[in-house]
Chains A and B, each alone.
Chain A
């Protein structure tokens, strides 16, 4: 499959009467955005704000981060099965608005939403301090259940992102990159000497607000399958989860999955990037066994030499990670796993909830229990009402001078397990 990605660099976002992109500036009409967000009757109100890198702004509670994209050629549209009709995506031409993101915020569970600081010590841990963020804070109708609220906000974010992406349809990209994988037979003929490598992505699917969607399908209900790695670039996988902010994959991370991009960098040079295998992290033992069996089976059937396995979340999914690693290694396929650690605030505890000698090649996104002090910032987009309740905070979080004492856990994307960041631990 071949996909041409056109990058359009956004240098600023401004509110205006008319929505358009001109000379790298995104102008958006609040009225139009509101209309998009309020299409769902479960959302009572929405407010929009802009946060720029370096500004003294804290965004919380952050739900999802999305990169606006538009499909300009080829089958389907962005977010298939969610916003666009179901059709196989990943070929043709897609434009992405680089340097910006749509950030959805609002109290959903009140426990596992995150913090994005645009400046100060917190900013170095979240990749989204580097993007121009169009933030939407959604207010639900009264007496709504958390999962209904979550779904309403999730869809509102995609509608707004798709609306903004659409503004780029007739533009000329600043930069174009081509991503292409071969069919099985072509790959064998073209790169007979290169190791056959795939990316095994574990999708958060513990349920009860820990969900991920593939072409609109709840990942709890899938069996492991294969994708062309270009499909994710059109939004084939989207986030719908409220796992600890530090190591859940916001939709932005799925769209820009760094393992996919870094394997493409080596494709045809040092390795043959065969495909992406997706699997889930269900909580029932039978599901864990089936999914890890199937993942290992697919690796074997595809005659792979090596895989990179990425995890999402922690604790319960540590068992899925180790089961995948053990079974894939047992098939003679070499693995590297990417995870993060919960080694305690003092770093002295065992980092994962499971372990095995087969996991001899591990990349870590760092210890999520590490404590950081986030100074008081001038402006809060959203609310600090839940800041002592979110995962990684405590009753002592809010200090007298207005600063926050929190674990890295609270920071969106801080210890990402697709290897999105440079943070690590030893």
Chain B
């Protein structure tokens, strides 16, 4: 079997060209050569992979000629057509870190070649690119080279082979916003007890889920003139025409439904039901108005309390549906509601 082909990117310092005084060194490719840290990578790859070319570029040159350097390097990588691209590790060198992140992400996005880089968590390149490309967390100086290569090399091989990538704590990459399951050594309750003991003793502990910044939505001001307002109904309670024609899932919905209720005065057991798997469906199936109050709104329409009930309603099941999916559904149908001149929406859950 032929070896996995790797192209490696390093800066002028690690290529032994020079320090700051040589930072304006333009990008060059050395085909067939492993340079500096590349030798450590080749050792680590054993016979499975080898560096077929090394690209060297000065840190100032890269950052000051960003577009040109990026284009030139992408062209070099494309020509070599490697199975995987490695940049760095950059440790705590700021401009080198940004260059590694930039070029690794670009190779992955624009050439479709998997890439891996590595740097110290406080390197400015880390926050900029850790969500875009696998980034191994390294020490803050080249003293951590062996450990960095020891994690970058196996991850690069996995990426080249298209194998499943484990969780960040297993592979050593920085958390990138993608949650990955894996099996711990101890059960959850034991981990909780250990975490509590550390917290009680004021010792450092590591949460398994850092809290995200939460998206709080301020309610709109009240509708002043209801009697002339067009009101729409939207529900996450899963009300659908009988038979669930669009097969909205009972949990973790992949889509929403849009249904016409023009002329519908009342939702009945014969015509509507719920697709939602998160609650006892008996009462919703008996009378779906309990979740989607069409009957009451028709009364209010007749009494002149509201202007009109919009003839379309939007529905999905909230049960186990990812926040990102719910947001995407709402982004889409909100535009439709706006286009249809809807003034206010009544949002019902279960």
Of all chain B residues, which has the CB nearest A419? B188
Interchain CB contact under 8 A, A146 and B278: no
A66 to B: closest C-beta gap in Å: 20
A residues 383-426 near B (Cβ < 8 Å) are: 389-395, 407-409, 416-426
Interchain CB contact under 8 A, B320 and A146: no
Main secondary structure of the interface of B (DSSP, over half): loop
Interchain CB contact under 8 A, A336 and B208: no
Among B175, B211, B213, residue most surrounded by chain A Cβ atoms (within 10 Å): B211
The size of the chain A interface, using a CB distance under 8 A, is 86
Interchain CB contact under 8 A, B179 and A266: no
Residue-wise interface mask of B (259-288) relative to A, using a CB-CB cutoff of 8 A (1 in contact, 0 not): 000000000000000001111111100000
In the complex the two chains form, what is the Cα distance from A195 to B210 in whole Å? Answer: 25
From B1-9, B190-198, B225-233, the one touching the partner chain is: B190-198
Interchain CB contact under 8 A, B167 and A425: yes
Interchain CB contact under 8 A, B179 and A343: yes
Known: A338-B188, A424-B181. A407 touches B250 (CB 8 A): no
A67 at the interface (CB under 8 A from B): no
In the complex the two chains form, what is the Cα distance from A261 to B193 in whole Å? Answer: 10
B177 to A: closest C-beta gap in Å: 6
| Chain B residues positioned under 8 Å from A259 (CB to CB) | 189, 192-193
Interchain CB contact under 8 A, B211 and A355: yes
Interchain CB contact under 8 A, A262 and B180: no
B residues 160-208 near A (Cβ < 8 Å) are: 167-170, 175, 177-193, 195-197, 199-200, 205, 207-208
Known: A354-B214, A422-B184. A197 touches B189 (CB 8 A): no
Of all chain A residues, which has the CB nearest B215? A350
| Chain B residues positioned under 8 Å from A344 (CB to CB) | 322-325
Interchain CB contact under 8 A, B189 and A361: no
Number of A-B contacts (CB under 8 A): 243
Give the residue of A266, A347, A368, A420 whose beta carbon is less than 8 angstroms from that of B180: A347
A314 at the interface (CB under 8 A from B): yes
Interchain CB contact under 8 A, A334 and B200: yes
Main secondary structure of the interface of A (DSSP, over half): loop
| Chain B residues positioned under 8 Å from A147 (CB to CB) | 280, 282
Known: A394-B254, A422-B186, A426-B169. A109 touches B180 (CB 8 A): no
A360 at the interface (CB under 8 A from B): yes
Known: A308-B196, A356-B211, A422-B183. A348 touches B188 (CB 8 A): no
Of all chain B residues, which has the CB nearest A346? B178
| Chain B residues positioned under 8 Å from A306 (CB to CB) | 196, 199-200
A287 to B: closest C-beta gap in Å: 16
Interchain CB contact under 8 A, A350 and B180: no
B96 to A: closest C-beta gap in Å: 27
Interchain CB contact under 8 A, A305 and B192: no
Which bucket holds chain B's interface residue count?
A: 35 or more
| Chain A residues positioned under 8 Å from B180 (CB to CB) | 347, 367, 425-426
Give the residue of A263, A266, A334, A349 whose beta carbon is less than 8 angstroms from that of B324: A349
Interchain CB contact under 8 A, B322 and A418: no
From A9-17, A204-212, A374-382, the one touching the partner chain is: A204-212
Interchain CB contact under 8 A, B188 and A314: no
Give the residue of A244, A345, A418, A424 whose beta carbon is less than 8 angstroms from that of B208: A424
Of all chain A residues, which has the CB nearest B319? A391
| Chain B residues positioned under 8 Å from A425 (CB to CB) | 167, 179-182, 208-209
A197 to B: closest C-beta gap in Å: 7
B283 to A: closest C-beta gap in Å: 8
A339 to B: closest C-beta gap in Å: 7
Of all chain A residues, which has the CB nearest B185? A422
A342 at the interface (CB under 8 A from B): yes
Of all chain B residues, which has the CB nearest A395? B247
| Chain B residues positioned under 8 Å from A258 (CB to CB) | 187-190
A181 to B: closest C-beta gap in Å: 16
Interchain CB contact under 8 A, B278 and A391: yes
Interchain CB contact under 8 A, A334 and B196: yes
Interchain CB contact under 8 A, A426 and B188: no
Among B169, B196, B283, residue most surrounded by chain A Cβ atoms (within 10 Å): B196
| Chain A residues positioned under 8 Å from B179 (CB to CB) | 341, 343, 347-348, 351, 367, 425-426
Give the residue of B192, B199, B205, B249 whose beta carbon is less than 8 angstroms from that of A419: B192
Of all chain A residues, which has the CB nearest B323? A350
Interface residues of A (CB under 8 A from B): 109, 111-112, 124, 145-147, 195, 197, 206-210, 243-244, 258-259, 261-263, 265-266, 270-271, 305-308, 314-315, 334-336, 338-339, 341-357, 359-370, 389-395, 407-409, 416-426
8 A–B pairs (Cβ distance < 8 Å), ordered by A: A111-B277, A208-B279, A243-B278, A341-B179, A367-B179, A394-B249, A418-B189, A420-B188
Closest 5 CB pairs of A and B: A419-B188, A111-B277, A419-B189, A391-B251, A344-B322
Q: List 17 other contacts, CB 8 Å, given A315-B320, A342-B323, A369-B322.
A: A111-B277, A209-B279, A244-B278, A258-B190, A265-B193, A266-B197, A305-B200, A341-B179, A343-B179, A349-B322, A355-B213, A363-B192, A390-B277, A422-B186, A424-B191, A426-B179, A426-B208
